[in-house]
């Protein structure tokens, strides 16, 4: 079921906790944080009792085992595209939360949504803030491969 924006004004901490809960991420979920603002997010998770959280550097990763990959800040579409291809990924069915700058052209389709879809993610929520967007997307399972006849 797709997420819907929070109806009431809440602190950033409460909002993030609510988004995580509604996305199915619990305190025992495997969480990877990456990106230049990752340290603050990592500390937040540790202070709030999340057990399986760690920082993942950019570059190729052997396993896509995380229930959640959080990217608290990207510098633009090219940065996000590089991360989606070379950074850590959530497992199939897992969640990606990424914060991006708002698109320069507010009319028309959001290029981040298009990039996420092309990269195998289904957008569940997009929150708009002060010149930033927060995207919550679920990684789609890989298409079934045909068996050789």
User: For residue 18, how many other CB atoms are within 10 A of its CB?
Assistant: 14
Which pLDDT score, from 0 to 100, does residue 1 have?
43
pLDDT by 10-residue block (mean), the chain, 149 residues: 48 88 95 88 94 82 81 89 89 94 76 94 90 92 54
| Crossing angle for the helix pair 111-118 and 77-86, to the nearest 10 degrees | 10
Which pLDDT score, from 0 to 100, does residue 62 have?
56
* Pairing, β 121-128 against β 90-101: unpaired
Which pLDDT score, from 0 to 100, does residue 145 have?
39
Which pLDDT score, from 0 to 100, does residue 50 have?
94
Which pLDDT score, from 0 to 100, does residue 106 have?
63
Which pLDDT score, from 0 to 100, does residue 148 have?
44
Which pLDDT score, from 0 to 100, does residue 4 have?
47
DSSP label at residue 77: H
Strands (E), the chain: 30-33, 52-55, 66-71, 90-101, 121-128, 132-139
């Amino acid at each position: 079921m797709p997420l819907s924006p929070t109806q009431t004004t809440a602190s950033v901490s409460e909002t993030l906790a609510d988004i995580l809960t509604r996305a199915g991420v619990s305190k025992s979920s495997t969480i990877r944080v990456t990106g230049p603002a990752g340290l603050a997010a990592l500390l937040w998770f540790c202070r709030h009792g999340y057990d399986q959280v760690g920082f993942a550097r950019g570059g190729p990763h052997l396993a896509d085992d995380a229930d959640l990959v959080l990217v608290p800040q990207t510098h633009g579409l090219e940065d996000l595209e590089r991360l989606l291809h070379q950074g850590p990924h959530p497992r199939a069915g897992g969640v990606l939360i990424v914060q991006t700058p708002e698109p320069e052209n507010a009319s028309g389709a959001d290029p981040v949504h298009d990039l996420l879809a092309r990269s195998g993610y289904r957008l569940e929520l997009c929150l708009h803030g002060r010149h930033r967007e927060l995207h919550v997307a679920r990684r789609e399972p890989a298409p079934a491969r045909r068996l050789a006849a």
